[in-house]
Chain A
C-alpha cells in the first residue's frame, strides 16, 4: 500500500492522533511557561536559589523519559496512566530551557540600561515589565522554542502511558515489522510539527529582537535543522529506552517452566490463559507475557523470550510467511506447519476447532424474513442496503475491495468506514444492514446477528492454533500433551461465549477460563 493511500484510509485516526499530540505539547509547554518564566524571574532576584534550582531542572532533563514515566505512574494525583502523567513528564522536560533562558535573558540585559532604569526612578516591577522582560523576550522565546521541540519529541513516548499521540503510530509501526507506512505516518507529522513550531516561534522571536535582523537569517536554517535532529534523536532514544524496558531478559532455564505469550486482544489472552491454567494444573510454572502488540509475539517466540502463543493460520500464512492468500484451510495449515518447522523451529498445534475470520453479518430478523443463508443470497438484496466496515476491513487486500468483487456486491451508498466495535451496534440499531465482524465476536448471539456463509470461499482460513518452540516442547513434554488435548476442543460458539463473558460482562479472563476448563474437564 502506498503511503498516500494509507493516509487517505486512516485520515480520521491520524487526525485524532495529531490533535492528541498537539494537545499534549500545547498543554505541557503552556504549563511550563506559566511555571518556568516566574521561576526564572525569581532566580534573577534570589541569587542563592539560582544554582540549586537550575541544578534540579538540569537533573530532570537527564532522566530518560521512559524511566520518568515509570516513576510517575505509581504516584497519587499527578501519576497514573494517561494524558495527565504524560503532561507532568513533558512539563518537567520543558522547564529547564524556559527557566534557564529566562535567567540568561534577564541577566543579559545591558548593565547600563538597567542602571539607567533604576536611576530614572522605575520601581522593581516597572523595570521587570518595561525593561527586563521586553529586552529578554527573544532569549526567553528561544527557550520556549527549544521546550516545544523537546516536547514534540518526547510526546511520542506518551503513548507508552496510554496518552495517545503520534507515538501510537510509531510504536505500532515498530512492532509491525516492515510497515514503514505506520512509522512514516507517526514520525513525519511529528517532525513537521517540530519544524512548524520552531519556524513560527522563530518569527515571533524576531519580532521581539532588538538587534539587526539580517544576520540571524542565515543561522536560523541551521538552527531548524539542528532542532529537528534533536527531536528525532529524542524520539529514537525514547524508543530505545522503551524497548529496553519492555524486553526484560529472562532465562528459560527452569525445566518445568513455560512462558506463555498472547496478542493484545481478548481472544488471544483467553487462549493463552487456557494453556497457562492447564499447564499449571499439571505442575508447570507459567510466566505470562500477555498483550504483546502487533507481530511482537512472533518475534518474541523466535527469539526464545516466550515458549508459545496462540495464532491464526491465515495470519501466519499471509503476515508472517508473506504468501498471497488462498482459501483451502488444509493447504494453509500444512504449509504453515512445514515452513514454521523449517524456518523457525516452531511446532504448530492441531487446530483448536474454530476460526476467527471476517464474519459477514446481518440482523437475525432480516435473515429469517428473506431466508438468507449465504453471502450470495444477500448479494441479491444488497442494492437497497447500507454497509458499515471497520478501517481494517476497508484497507486490507483480502477485505472490502476483493470481497465486493468476488460476490458482485453493490450497496446503496459507499460503505461507511467506522470503528469495528461500533459496526455491531450500528447493525443492531438499523443504521446499517450489513457488516464484516469477527466470527468469534461475543456479541453476535446476544445481538441476534446472523453470520452468512462464505459460499464462494473468498476469505482465507483463520484457524486458531498454538505456536510452540520445538525445544520447549522437548524440554516440557506435558506441553505437547496439553496441545493435543486442546485440538478440536473449542467451537466457534464456545469462543464467542468466552469473549462475551470478558468483553460484555467485564469479567476477568482468569476466572472465565477457570470455569470453562472445569466444565470441559481439562
Chain B
C-alpha cells in the first residue's frame, strides 16, 4: 500500500468544477485532504456537489480549475483506468450488473486485472464472508434475487475486490430501512478499520456522518463550509452545521453519536 511517501492519499487543491450550461459552478475552491486510513464524510444536502466531488477523485470528471492529487500525483496525469481500478466505488442501489451473478459482480475488477480464475474465485468467497454473505448460498444468485441490504453488501464486496487503498461511497446505505442501515454502518465501520482502508463517504445523513467519519466535511452550495472531527462538529457554531445539528436535537437522547468507530 501507499503511504511510504508523505503525500496524503487524496488532496484537493482549490478545485472548482463547472459546466457550460450552468451559470454558477457546481464546486468552488474545494480544499481538503484525506489521510491514510481516514474516513472523510462529505455531508450536505442533495445537489450540493458531493457526488461531483467523488467523481473528481476517480477522474470520471476532471476539475475546471485547481487540482485533485492522488498520492501526490494530479488525476489528470493518472491513467484513468488504472486509477479507477485501485479505487473502490459503491453507489446507492449498489449499481450491480443485473446480468452478472454475485460472483461475477464481485470478481469483476480482479478479472479485468487478469487474475487467474481460481484466484478470483477464492477472493470472491473471502470477500463475501467479509461482508457477511455465505458464498455457497449467494455466489450464483443474480442481483434481482437479493434483498436491498444484500445487494449493498455485494456492492461493498465488489469495491474491495482488488484491495484498493481508497474507497469512494456515494450514499451507499441511502435506500435501506433504518434498522438495516444501522447494522450495515456498524459493520462497514469495523471493516474499514480492520482493513485499514481510506474512504470518502458521501451522505446527507448527519448521524451516519457522525457514526462513520474520522472527519466530517460539510459541503454547502459547492463550497466547503466546515471540516472537523465529529466531536468538534457537534460543538461547532458554523451556521450550516448548526442547522444540521438542530435536526438532531429532536432525538437528542440517542446513544453517543460519536461512539461509532473512533
Q: Which residues of A contact B (CB under 8 A)?
A: 110, 112-113, 115-123, 126, 130-131, 134-135, 210-212
Stretch from B81-89, B206-214, B225-233 at the A interface? B81-89
Residues of A contacting B142 in the complex (Cβ-Cβ under 8 angstroms): 210
Asked if residues B84 and A118 are in contact (CB atoms below 8 Å), the reply is: yes
Contact, CB under 8 Å: A115 / B91:
yes
Are B95's CB and A113's CB within 8 A?
A: yes
**Complex interface: chain B residues within 8 A of A112 (CB):** 91-93, 95
Q: How far is the CB of A23 from chain B (nearest CB, A)?
A: 34
Q: Is the interface of A mostly helix, strand, loop or mixed?
A: helix
Contact across chains for B98 and A123 when beta carbons are under 8 A apart:
no
The 6 closest A-B pairs by CB, nearest first: A116-B95, A121-B84, A121-B85, A119-B89, A112-B95, A210-B98
- Least distance between B51 CB and chain A CB atoms (Å): 10
A45-B58 Cα distance, complex, nearest whole Å:
22
- Contact with A120, one of B82, B93, B112 (Cβ below 8 angstroms): B112
> Given A116-B96, A121-B80, A135-B97, 10 other A-B contacts at CB below 8 A?
A112-B92, A119-B58, A119-B60, A119-B84, A120-B112, A121-B83, A121-B87, A121-B109, A122-B112, A135-B99
- Whether the Cβ atoms of B84 and A120 lie closer than 8 Å is yes
A363 to chain B, nearest CB (A): 71
Contacts of B84 in A (CB 8 A): 118-121
What's the nearest-Cβ distance from chain A to residue B207, in Å?
A: 25
* A–B pairs, 9, beta carbons within 8 Å: A113-B95, A115-B95, A116-B89, A118-B60, A121-B84, A121-B112, A123-B81, A135-B98, A212-B144
CB distance A126 to B112 under 8 Å? yes
B98 touches A113 (CB 8 A): yes
Shortest Cβ distance from A207 into chain B, in angstroms?
11
Q: Which of A113, A115, A121, A131 contacts B81 (CB 8 A)?
A: A121
How many residues on the B side are at the interface (Cβ–Cβ under 8 A)?
27
* Pair count A-B, CB < 8 A: 63
Interface residues of B in 132-155 (CB under 8 A from A): 142, 144
* Chain B residue contacts of A126, Cβ below 8 A: 112
Cα A204 to Cα B99 with chains together (Å): 15
Measured in the bound complex, the distance between the Cα atoms of B84 and A123 in whole Å is 10
Once the chains are docked, how many angstroms separate the CA of A412 from the CA of B85? 82
A139 to B86: give the CA distance in the assembly, Å.
34
Residues of A contacting B128 with CB < 8 Å? none
Docked-complex contact A120 and B108, CB < 8 angstroms: yes
Q: What separation, in Å, do the CA atoms of A115 and B81 have in the docked complex?
A: 13
- Bound complex: CA of A131 vs CA of B87, how far in Å? 20
Q: Which residues of B contact A134 (CB under 8 A)?
A: 99
Residues of A within 8 A of B99 (CB): 134-135, 210
Given known pairs A121-B109, A210-B98, the reply for A116 and B91 (CB within 8 Å) is yes
Within 8 Å by CB of B97, from A113, A119, A123, A212, lies A113
Cβ–Cβ contact B97 & A116, under 8 A: yes
B160 beta carbon closer than 8 Å to chain A: no
Measured in the bound complex, the distance between the Cα atoms of B97 and A135 in whole Å is 9
The interface residues of chain B lying within 8 Å CB-to-CB of A113 are 95-98
B168 at interface, CB cutoff 8 A: yes
Residues of B within 8 A of A120 (CB): 84-85, 89, 108-109, 112, 158
**Chain B 219-253, CB within 8 Å of chain A: the 1/0 string?**
00000000000000000000000000000000000
Measured CA separation A115–B60 after assembly (Å): 9
Count chain B CB atoms within 10 A of each CB in A113, A116, A121, A135 and give the residue with the most.
A121
Q: With A113-B98, A210-B99 in contact, is A119–B168 under 8 Å at CB?
A: yes
Contacting pair A121 B82 (CB below 8 A): yes
A208 nearest in chain B by CB position:
B99
Chain A residue nearest in CB terms to B57: A119
What is the 8 Å Cβ interface bit string for chain B, positions 38-68, against chain A (1 contact, 0 not)?
0000000000000000000010100000000
Q: Which residues of B contact A212 (CB under 8 A)?
A: 144
B244 to chain A, nearest CB (A): 27
Q: Which residues of B contact A117 (CB under 8 A)?
A: 97
Residues of A within 8 A of B89 (CB): 116, 119-120
What are the residues of chain A within 8 A of B83 when measuring CB–CB?
121
Whole-angstrom distance between the alpha carbons of A122 and B83 in the complex?
11
**Of listed B80, B84, B85, B144, residue having the most chain A CB within 10 A:** B84
Chain A residues whose CB sits within 8 angstroms of the CB of B82 once the complex forms: 121
